[in-house]
Structure 1
């Protein structure tokens, strides 16, 4: 494994952590929007209690991924940020609005029975941000962005304002909502609330299956070379099969109320989706424009990045373990009890 490949692998691992942790926070905002019925307030209280202690810390993983990208692959960072600055700006606006509205709706609650503007902002931004994350991923996955003689070509709108990136955006939204619902069943011991989130988890799981199939079919139609590259090696096919099996295990376990197994199946599926995408994307950062080897910083820089990341993890990882053990100790148990 070359140094650029090693750093790319570390970046992928950081992105996986961000999706599993931060992505579920966005999914919680989705279910906050769709909280309905006589238990709507209690559902929102569970969601707020689940997100509250850890949502700021979870964004650390996105920051680490961004720093790795612009430090280790500056050309790739430049091309992506230039060509996709509109959806990336919308994504960042969504992150900021979501965080501020989550805080302000707590410190400035509306009168009883009134709908808070901060409540609406929190929910809508929780929808917007995952879609924009998926749009960016979809845009760098299929050809459309060019890079010639140091100039980004293809325009600033056409590469992402296409059906395929938005299909990936919808899939990302469904994935985050599914993660959140599967986590939320373990955030309460109230049987009625668990059943509420159980129904949402089952619905979101089927939505993930349908959206994933649609993305795969659309990818084959608009960029068959990408799909063929993904399926050419054993890794792509195995992650695809493993993801389908993981989703089936999660759905079956959720039906039987085996919460720990359902959560494990969901996490495994999400990890396999991301690993499979990375295998199909290799060696490109932006397909058709720049590869990890073309964009890589000098070896001495990559070595320094890995050393700093290793030393930093000696502080970051124990801090996260302590944070989650403190606020999520019961949830981390095999059955969530």
Structure 2
């Protein structure tokens, strides 16, 4: 049925945002804990250079998720944004502050203002994924259903807190893995070991939180818990664990290119496992895919637009990510932007 196809597309878009956007949030997390001005100068230098070419692009996946929810599953969209308006509003504010902080801190000459913008970027990189994860955890508990009014009870359970912390840890893991690869690409040998250690630490935090989450969800989100601990959900979770362990080994051997692939796979597989664990519900156990779906004509047009967008935008996004990971895209420096140098270069080009 067409609504099932749209639901799979929505799940794939969520997984894409978890990986692409999660990497950016993870870089912001390590920016936050990098230390003071002197101690954190080198890590923040790498974070700026690594993120600059693609940081705005990753929000395309979030827009894609929202469009599919709003158009394809209007009941789901209304329910989620009514019951979870506060954590989602806080996440949206974090997105705006994060983008503004990252964009403004580098060109700002005042040290005090750079610290303010840097703090806005770093703190928002922590809070935004937490509130997004808390909202997902709240949905898994079954406390939200069509018609549910907004309340703190909908997203303040133990499952919500664990889901928020797991989201932060997953972004930190992705960010550290990619920054290790970027450190190698920029020939920053000291930062390779720096971020590799942090990738291992965040992986350990993920393991602890996942173990706690299994206990918490058994009581508060039993439907999702059962789906994750049996059948295809369990198979995907175990495959994700294998990919995470492979990432740790690959980082030890400094095979950072393959480490990025396995890190992405580990996070994407968990998202897919979570979605499959909820079948046939979009909100366990009150709203199924068929109940939430829009009109068949709307769904058909949505799939057509999705196909066109995939054909037109997909290859360009792939090319952008490919060029960035190969180090082809480099930000302009102050020297590049100096009009006097540009004028001198033009004069030298004149025969």
TM-score, length-scaled by structure 2: 0.88
CA contact (8 A) 1:250 1:265 kept: yes
Distance 1:198 1:323 in 2: 25
TM-superposed deviation, 1:232: 3.9
Contact 2:84–2:150 (CA under 8 A) maintained in structure 1: no
The whole-number CA distance in structure 1 between the counterparts of 2:153 and 2:65 is 26
CA distance in 2, matches of 1:307, 1:322: 23
Mark the runs of 5 or more structure 2 residues left unpaired by the alignment. 330-351
Cα displacement (A) at 1:132: 0.5
**Distance change in 2, residues 1:222/1:5 (3 Å):** same
Aligned to 1:276: 273
Listed one character per residue, the Cα deviations across residues 119-143 of structure 1 (whole Å, up to 9, x for unaligned) are 1111111100010110011011111
1:92 is displaced (CA, Å) by 0.2
Name the counterpart of 1:224. Answer: 222
Deviation at 1:257, TM superposition (A): 2.5
1:179 aligns with 2:178: no
CA RMSD of aligned residues (A): 1.9
**Cα shift readout 1:50-83 (whole Å, capped 9, x = no counterpart):** 1111111110110011000110000011001100
1:11 is aligned to 2:10: yes
Q: Is the 8 A contact 1:145 1:288 kept in 2?
A: no
- Residues 247 and 13 of structure 1: CA distance in aligned 2, closer, same or farther (over 3 Å): same
Q: How far, CA to CA, are the matches of 1:256 and 1:327 in structure 2?
A: 22
Equivalents in 1 of 2:272, 2:118: separation in Å? Answer: 35
Aligned length: 325
Task: Give the superposition deviation at 1:155.
Answer: 4.2
CA contact (8 A) 1:25 1:55 kept: yes
Unaligned runs of 5+ in 1: 333-337
Tell me by how many angstroms 1:253 deviates: 2.1
- The equivalent residue for 1:102 is 102
Match of 1:247 among 235, 244, 248: 244
1:19 CA drift (Å): 1.4
Q: Which residue of 1 is the match for residue 188 of structure 2? A: 190
1:330, distance to aligned residue in structure 2 (A): 4.1
Name 1:335's counterpart in structure 2.
none
The residue correspondences of 1:295-334 to structure 2 (distance < 5 A) are 295-330=292-327
SS in 2 for 1:153: coil
For residues 38-58 of structure 1, give each alpha carbon's deviation from its aligned partner in whole angstroms, at most 9, with x where no partner exists.
Answer: 652121011011111111111
Query: How much does 1:251 deviate?
Result: 1.5
Q: Is the 8 A contact 1:29 1:122 kept in 2?
A: yes
Contact 1:186 1:259 survives alignment (8 Å): yes
Does the 8 Å contact 1:144/1:154 carry over to 2?
no
Q: Distance in 1 between matches of 2:35 and 2:228?
A: 41
Q: Which moved more, 1:115-124 or 1:60-69?
A: 115-124
Q: What's 2:66 paired with?
A: 66
Greater C-alpha radius of gyration: 2
C-alpha distance in 1, partners of 2:145/2:15?
A: 27
Report SS of the residue matched to 1:107. coil
